[in-house]
Amino acid sequence: MNTVKVILMLASLTGLLILIGYGIGRGKGMVIALILAFLMNIGGYWFSDSIVLRMYNAQPVTGSEAPALYDAVASLSAKAKIPAPKVYVIPNDAPNAFATGRNENHAAVAVTSGILKMLTRDELEGVLAHELSHIKHKDILISTLAATVASAVVLLSRWAVIFGGDEGSTISAIAVAVIAPIAATLIQMAISRSREYEADAGSAGITGRPEALAGALAKLSRAARIKPMSANPATAHLFIVNPLSGGTIMNLFSTHPPLEKRIERLMKMKAGAG
């Protein structure tokens, strides 16, 4: 069901782009904006793993350096039927984790040193399975597509002001420049939240223990409120829990669903399995 929602939301973003592009420059305006947005985002997608890992000073670890973590990633990857990604540890006490990489063969899972100290083995496996699910479902690609179309909408909205023409069309253009980027951002954030729900379900399917991820999320939620992680807002959507605010951002503009709802869904999966 979430996959259908994502397709519909991506279609809505594309429809918004076509509508604005046609209004400003007919087909040419839309195509130019889409090309520019694509060029803006393709570099980030292609080099996403190295960029974000370097940003957080993530250190690669081997099986001898972190045997429990390394073995867990290898075992869960086999269950998920994907190649085992590279494993990294971020020297940060704030507990969190993320996955990155453009595809299954160029992927990495990174966890903070804080999460390794806080979670039980089952809870850590729930978190790792969540991140592997992101890799398996190509969520980095989906996020890049959404960001590309949303960026094109923003570009076209700005052009609408610059090339507004007479007073009446200028006023309309300003209205579009304000409303369209907000609408595009809302859709983009909704896609991100939907992928988090999907990754939670994927974790439950891989481990067979949805309650383990639920327990991890409860701990991470409390820790995020006490000690938010110093993170770049542009990468917030990558983490398993919002690293910036511990859930204080308005739900509509958040990259993550409310943790309470995520935990509730996981416990319903547990009840259903029981």
Would residue 131 show up in a list of annotated catalytic residues for this protein?
Answer: yes
**Residue among 24, 26, 21 at smallest CA distance from 37:** 21
The backbone torsions φ and ψ at residue 48, rounded to the nearest 5 degrees and listed phi first, read -60, -40
User: Residue 247 has what pLDDT?
Assistant: 44
pLDDT digits (tens, 9 = 90+) for 260-270: 999 999 999 98
What residues does 60 pair with on adjacent strands? 88
Could you write out the DSSP letters of every residue in 153-189?
HHHHHHHHHHT--SHHHHHHHHHHHHHHHHHHHHHHH
pLDDT tens column, 194-230: 899 999 999 999 999 999 999 999 999 888 888 778 8
Distances (CA, A) of 229 to 48, 56, 152, 236, 240: 20, 11, 30, 10, 12
The C-alpha atoms of residue 24 and residue 20 are separated, in whole angstroms, by 6
Q: How many residues does the chain have?
A: 274
Catalytic residue among 123, 125, 131, 211: 131
Say if CB 218 and CB 263 are below 8 A apart.
Answer: yes
Helix (H) or strand (E) holding 63: none
If pLDDT is split at 50, 70 and 90, which confidence band does 144 have? confident
- Quote the number of domains for the chain: 1
- Is residue 167 very low, low, confident or very high in pLDDT (cuts 50, 70, 90)? very low
Residues 242 and 213: their CA atoms lie apart, in Å, by 16
Q: What is the span of the domain harbouring residue 175? A: 2-273
The DSSP code for 66 is S
